[in-house]
Structure formats: C-alpha cells, structure tokens
Amino acid sequence: MKHLNDATHTPTAAAPMRWLLLGLGCALLFAWAPVSTALASVGVEQPVRESVSGQDWYMVIDRAGVLDQDRERLAINDTYRLYLHGIPTQVVTEYAAFSQNQADARARELRITNGIESSRGANDGLLLYAAVNPRNRDSFVISISVGGAALPINGLTPGSLEDVHNNAIAPQLDAGRPARAIVYGLREIIYLEQYVPPAVTPVTGWHAGVRRALDILGPIIALMGSVWMFRRRAEGSLAARSVLVSLAAGGSIVIGTTLLAIPSQSTIGVYSALVLGVVLVWQAIVIDTRNSSPAISRMTVTPRVPGSRTVSARRSRIEVK
C-alpha cells in the first residue's frame, strides 16, 4: 500500500512535456494575428465569396495595370463597402480595343460568368469594367454593368448611375486619368447608395384639386395673358396707361397663381406664373420707355408771298402793318 501511494505521488516526465506543448500552442496562436495583418498590408487579395461556378471571385482584378498600389487599395475598400451594403461589386481592367458598345457587352458577360451576385440567380451584382487599348494606352473605355435586381437602392438608380458615368468617369477619361475615373466612379456609387432622398409629402384634399386645375389652366392663362399684352401694345391702346396699372393688372394673376401652385406642388403652375410674370415686366418696360421718350412737335408754316408782310402760323393770320 505504501508502494502504491508513493508511486501515485511520484512526478513523471510527461507533465513538463504537456506544459511545454501548451506554451508553444499559445505562442503560435498569439503570433498568427500580426502575421495575418502583415500579409494583408502587402496587398494580398482575399476572396469575398464563392461564386456560382465554384470559383472564388475577387473584388479588383487589374489585368491592365491601371491602378497603382494606393488606388488599388482604395478600390478594394470601396467594393468591399458596397458588398457589405448588399451590392456585390467587382472591378476588372484588361487590354482590349473595344468601342463603348463592346465594353458594355463585355462588362455584362464578366458580371454573369464571374458570378457577381449575392446568391444563385439573385442578379443583384455590379461590375465596373475598364478596357485599355493595347496599341494606345491613352485610349480607355469604361462600362458599368448592373444586375436587374440591384437597383434602385436609395439614391442609386439607373438614371443616377448613368450620371455617374457621364459626370464622374467620363471627364477623368478625357483628361487621361483612368485610375481616378475608377476610384471617383466607385465613390459616387457609394454616395448615391447611402443617400436617402427627402420624403415628398403627398398632395391630398383640396390641394390635389388645385394642382390638377393649375396643370390644365396654368399654360392657358400664361398664353392668353401674353397674347393680350402683345396685341394691346401693338395697337397702342396701352400707351396712355400707367405702367404701375399694367403691372397691377397682370401681377395679381401672377401672384395668385404662384400662391396656389406652391402649396399644391404644381410645377406647371409655377412655370406658367413665371412665364407670365416675365412677359408682363418686359411689356411694362417697353411701354414705360415709349411713354417717357420726348414727343416731336410739328408746326406747319405757310410760305410768305413775296412782297407781303403777312405771317400765317397754326392757321392764325396775323397782319403786320
């Protein structure tokens, strides 16, 4: 019994080995974090998700070498932000002498074949494609292909996406800066995706009836008022009237139409009042200019008969003896 107790409490060589292995494991675990960070800092691309075809797709594939290291990092960050916001996005550059139509077709092809979508058949991805002419690196074409189910999201709509191409990408391409065109385009897409347009209060009640009436009567009022002013001025019937009276006559219509058009949100009514107001002011200025110009007086003088000392002026005969 004493032998068994001694054997039980006798330390063995396995215990230090277990502690040594446990310490090595902890050291490797803590050492992996800075190693992974260092790998990411040198630009190692990480796959986002597995595509439908079973291949991993990457956020930026710069086959034409358009992007430098800094702009490539910006493009990766921006595409990843769009991916987190529900728009799987990829940027692809390659050498190809494409026209704009050919680039559009190639962008759509890559978006489908690369499986840029959140799930099979979701059709909600976006691909920004840049083609660089291999014979002339100063010739670029950029196209944006988006899935039919991706838009609209907040301020990002098919129309605003077209504006991104025309206003953000095209000027940079014209200046020979394709890298900036890609980065600026992605930034504008992110801004529009996060932009929430202000809610428009629906027009109800009597405002809706006024809006429908102004949409119909507004152009008619503006046209009839303008024609009336032109005809009266041409006939000269307004020549003797005061300019202030003319402004008050038509200005009351303009002010009343505007006060009704703004709360009823009638764009046609506002434009009709604006057109009529411009015509009234212009006609009033013309009338005022004509009335303020000095009149030219005319005097008819009857020629004097030779040898006579009689002078006739304004049909009055004065004899001087």
Residue-by-residue DSSP string for 134-188:
TT-TT-EEEEEEE-TTT--BTTB-HHHHHHIIIIIIHHHHHTT-HHHHHHHHHHH
Residue 157 pLDDT > 70: yes
CATH code assigned to 49-194: 3.10.310.50
Band (pLDDT 50/70/90 cuts) for residue 132 is: very high
The model's pTM is: 0.53
User: Distance (Å, rounded) from C-alpha 189 to C-alpha 211?
Assistant: 35
| Domains of the chain, residue spans | 49-194, 206-292
CA distance 195 to 191: 6
- Residue 206: band (very low, low, confident or very high) from pLDDT cuts 50, 70, 90: confident
Rounded to whole angstroms, the Cα distance separating 199 from 195 reads 12
* pLDDT for 35: 44
pLDDT in tens, 251-280: 777 788 888 888 877 888 888 888 877 877
Q: What is the mean pLDDT of residues 4-32?
A: 51
Evaluate if residue 212 carries a pLDDT over 80. Answer: yes
- How many Cβ atoms sit within 10 Å of the Cβ of residue 110? 19
Whats the size of the chain, residue-wise? 321
**Nearest to residue 125, comparing CAs of 114, 134, 135?**
114
Q: Residue 48's pLDDT is what?
A: 47
Residue 23 has pLDDT above 80, yes or no: no
pLDDT of residue 9: 46
Q: Give the pLDDT confidence score for residue 24 in this predicted structure.
A: 54
pLDDT 10s digits, 61-97: 999 999 999 999 999 999 999 999 999 999 999 999 9
In this structure, of 15-19, 189-193, 200-204, 246-250, the range with the lowest mean pLDDT score is: 15-19
Between 136 and 42, the more confident residue is: 136
Mean pLDDT of 43-72: 68
Question: Which has more confidence, 101 or 277?
Answer: 101
> Is 158's pLDDT higher than 60?
yes
Q: Is the pLDDT of residue 43 over 50?
A: no
pLDDT given at position 216: 85
